[in-house]
Amino acid sequence: MKNYRLSQQELNELWLAHHSQRDKHIADRIKAVYLLGMGWTVEKVATALLLSENSIRNYYEAYTSGGLAELKKTNYCDNNHYLTGEQRELSP
């Protein structure tokens, strides 16, 4: 079983980031890493946050590889790439 424990400083930074985060999805990522860092198992965190165990592991890996900045990245892609140039100009 992997040890996901974090230092008290890391936990404090995550706590502050979570409380200042307005995006629910990013807040859940931060919360997942925070709970793992507190000693919760991947299974418990996934159950509590209604997320998959793979997502929880991925969030932790993102945090350990790139910190909060990496954890906050989104891969959102809107549907504008399906539009023609003229349609994009007309869209708000």
Residue 87's pLDDT is 65
Q: How far apart are CA 33 and CA 80, in angstroms?
A: 32
**Short-list 53, 3, 49, 4, CA closest to 27:** 49
Residue 81, domain member (yes or no): no
Query: Mind listing the pLDDT tens digit for each residue in 32-87?
Result: 999 999 999 999 999 999 999 999 999 999 999 999 999 998 865 555 556 666 76
d(CA 58, CA 8): 21
- Output the domain CATH number for residue 58: 1.10.10
Query: Is there a domain that residue 1 lies in?
Result: no
Looking at the predicted structure, is the pLDDT value of residue 1 above 80? no
Q: Give the mean pLDDT of 1-25.
A: 94
Say if 31 falls within a structural domain. yes
- H helices of the chain, where? 8-20, 24-37, 42-49, 53-72, 85-90
Q: What average pLDDT does range 4-15 have in this prediction?
A: 96
- pTM score of the predicted model: 0.80
In a domain, 35, yes or no: yes
| 3-class DSSP assignment, residue 3 | coil
Report yes or no on 57 lying in a domain: yes
pLDDT value for 74 = 80
Could you tell me if residue 65 is inside a domain?
yes
Number of domains in the chain: 1
What residues make up the domain containing 37? 8-72
Residue 92, in any domain of the structure? no
